[in-house]
């Protein structure tokens, strides 16, 4: 039942007249008998938007279970109090933001809180890619960083990501996103904030960060992009995000001059008008890029997501109806992973890392080149803090190619290094060579998107209640409940299966979207025709998808 007194308190405490009026309008409708308005209020006031290891992420709107100024100010105050307790002599925080609705205001609100609570804020003058915030954190040896972004989420969402560095942490996680116990400690501090009105905010005092940081980032990027030929034609899309200008500058600085941008998607636009979901993984997201590539006879398509922390690519394909094939995240991971392994060959202190849902091929590549390998939980908060890391990736188009300077995924450097690789040798040739040597490592997701979040828990429960004994006709040799944790991995809500045939399936709820996801990989030896082995792999992936959908039962 709705507690209107709580809602009235929230409205009175909301510093944003727009979201306050939005909630007021819902109250008026609900009190007039509108069931939909009542349900919407129930959802908005079901609790405060949870702060976890991904920080905050949710739909924009009024109320405690939405992204808005009131929620962000409370989060900023909680984070500031946490840092005050940790560093009573003062702290420095870098603040970045994307071009979504509300992002700049949320960043300014955070700076105002930091300046009023014993800290010093360094805030970017304009919206820039997320990797620039992660870079600036280490560049200035600041103690923390916040970036306001919802990355590739739908246009109605926004988010608030937190990193720790400087004197706040001292291990290999310096400069990385927060993990436990920091998330719980910050959330506890947020919950102790009595009201927005009680939060101290400064009117000035923060330091503006300008083009000099971008220049330092690009100078470093040039150092780590291998030399070689540059005579390829590239089509580039920024997916209406903030990466366009920086990505184009990076390619030009590295010597790639034949670059054609998808003009309809080049400039930031929070409405994302040409795509249903602003995510290069989604079907249709690269349609405009492919059309341009056909027109200009390109050699390579590069794409960033809206905050440019992800990298996607497509290459010419004689068998595709469009003449182009988008590479999977695992294929790009194997290409960039081999590139990094070659650079550090014979050094066992150099580590390649990937999440458990990503391809096992990178472990084989690490072994071949005499470097080490590590598996982690999903998310760059885990991948990027691996000691000795020289390259880390996960299949969702995320690649950490310069962990000494950017301890997070970075779509700008990843695209630049991939372009250098493609200019040296066709990427399909490299993929074929890997398959001939190690077998076809083929992967595919099974994604079940839900309206009712309870269905995700139900699907996981179904799998736990009825253990799988075989998948695609092959006996299950390992069935690991990741919630129990292990010597290798902390506990997480997930299930991992290995079969006698070498298949791997990992099932887990998405951390950022209403989805239950299965990450499937098969390994098919190449004893004859490579195309035949690839077709066998594709056929087997489809059988596994059907088996898992039935077993999940939602």
Give the active site residues: 151
Full DSSP string of 465-487: HS---EETTEEEEEEEEGGG--S
Question: Which 8-state DSSP code applies to residue 167?
Answer: T
Say if CB 505 and CB 496 are below 8 A apart.
yes
Q: Are strands 234-237 and 300-304 parallel, antiparallel or unpaired?
A: parallel
CA dihedral angle for residue 338, residue 340, residue 344, residue 347, rounded to 10 degrees: -70
Q: Using CA atoms, how far apart are residues 217 and 247, in angstroms rounded to an integer? A: 11
Say if CB 44 and CB 65 are below 8 A apart.
yes
Place of tokens 């071949």: 368
Helix intervals (H) in 87-153:
103-116, 130-139
Question: Which 8-state DSSP code applies to residue 328?
Answer: P
Place of tokens 């990501």: 161
Other Cβ atoms within 10 Å of 151 Cβ, number: 26
Helix intervals (H) in 310-410:
329-343, 361-369, 380-383
Q: Are strands 470-471 and 474-481 parallel, antiparallel or unpaired?
A: antiparallel
152: Cβ contacts below 8 Å, ≥ 6 apart:
239, 277, 278, 279, 280, 281, 305, 306, 307, 310
Q: Are strands 474-481 and 495-499 parallel, antiparallel or unpaired?
A: antiparallel
Q: What is the largest CA-CA distance in the chain?
A: 72
Q: Using CA atoms, how far apart are residues 253 and 223, in angstroms rounded to an integer? A: 11
């Amino acid at each position: 039942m709705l507690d209107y007194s709580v809602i009235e308190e929230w409205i009175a405490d909301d510093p944003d007249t727009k979201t306050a009026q939005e909630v007021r309008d819902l109250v008026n409708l609900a009190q007039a008998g509108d069931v939909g308005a009542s349900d919407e209020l129930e959802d908005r006031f079901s609790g405060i938007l949870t702060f976890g290891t991904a920080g905050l992420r949710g739909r924009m709107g009024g109320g405690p279970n939405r992204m808005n100024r009131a929620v962000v100010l409370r989060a900023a105050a909680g984070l500031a109090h946490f840092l005050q307790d940790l560093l009573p002599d003062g702290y420095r925080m870098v603040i970045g933001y994307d071009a979504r609705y509300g992002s700049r205001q949320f960043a300014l609100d955070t700076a105002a809180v930091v300046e009023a609570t014993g800290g010093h804020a360094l805030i970017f003058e304009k919206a820039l890619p997320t990797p620039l915030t992660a870079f600036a954190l280490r560049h200035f040896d600041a103690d923390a960083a916040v970036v306001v972004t919802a990355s590739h989420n739908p246009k109605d969402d926004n988010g608030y990501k937190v990193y720790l560095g400087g004197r706040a942490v001292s291990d290999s996680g310096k400069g990385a996103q927060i993990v436990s116990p920091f998330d719980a400690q910050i959330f506890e501090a947020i919950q102790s904030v009595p009201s927005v009105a009680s939060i101290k905010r400064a009117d000035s005092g923060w330091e503006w960060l300008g083009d000099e940081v971008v220049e330092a980032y690009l100078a470093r990027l040039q150092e780590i992009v291998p030399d070689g030929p540059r005579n390829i034609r590239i089509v580039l899309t920024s997916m209406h995000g903030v990466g366009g200008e920086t990505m184009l500058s990076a390619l030009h600085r590295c010597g790639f001059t034949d670059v054609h941008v998808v003009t309809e998607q080049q400039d930031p636009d929070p409405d994302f008008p040409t795509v249903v979901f602003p995510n290069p993984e989604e079907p249709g997201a690269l349609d405009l890029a492919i059309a341009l590539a056909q027109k200009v006879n390109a050699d390579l398509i590069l794409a960033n997501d809206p905050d440019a922390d992800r990298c996607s690519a497509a290459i010419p394909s004689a068998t595709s109806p469009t003449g182009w094939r988008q590479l999977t995240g695992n294929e790009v991971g194997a290409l960039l992973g081999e590139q990094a392994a070659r650079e550090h060959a014979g050094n066992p202190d150099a580590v390649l890392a990937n999440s458990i849902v990503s391809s096992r091929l990178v472990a084989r590549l690490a072994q071949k080149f005499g470097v080490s390998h590590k598996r982690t939980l999903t998310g760059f908060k885990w991948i990027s803090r691996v000691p000795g890391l020289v390259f880390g990736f996960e299949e969702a188009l995320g690649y950490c190619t310069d962990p000494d300077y950017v301890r997070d995924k970075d779509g700008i450097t990843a695209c630049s290094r991939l372009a250098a690789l493609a200019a040296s040798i066709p990427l399909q040739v490299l993929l074929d060579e890997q398959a001939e040597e190690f077998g076809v490592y083929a992967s595919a997701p099974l994604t079940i998107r839900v309206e009712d979040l309870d269905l995700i828990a139900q699907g996981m429960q179904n799998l736990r209640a009825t253990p799988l004994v075989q998948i695609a006709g092959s006996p299950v040799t390992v069935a690991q409940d990741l919630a129990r944790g292990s010597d290798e991995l902390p506990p997480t809500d997930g299930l991992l299966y290995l079969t006698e045939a070498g298949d791997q399936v990992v099932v887990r709820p998405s951390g950022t979207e209403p989805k239950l996801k299965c990450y499937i990989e098969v390994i098919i030896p190449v004893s004859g025709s490579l195309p035949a082995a690839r077709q066998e792999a594709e056929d087997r992936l489809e059988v596994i998808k059907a088996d898992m959908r039935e077993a999940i039962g939602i």
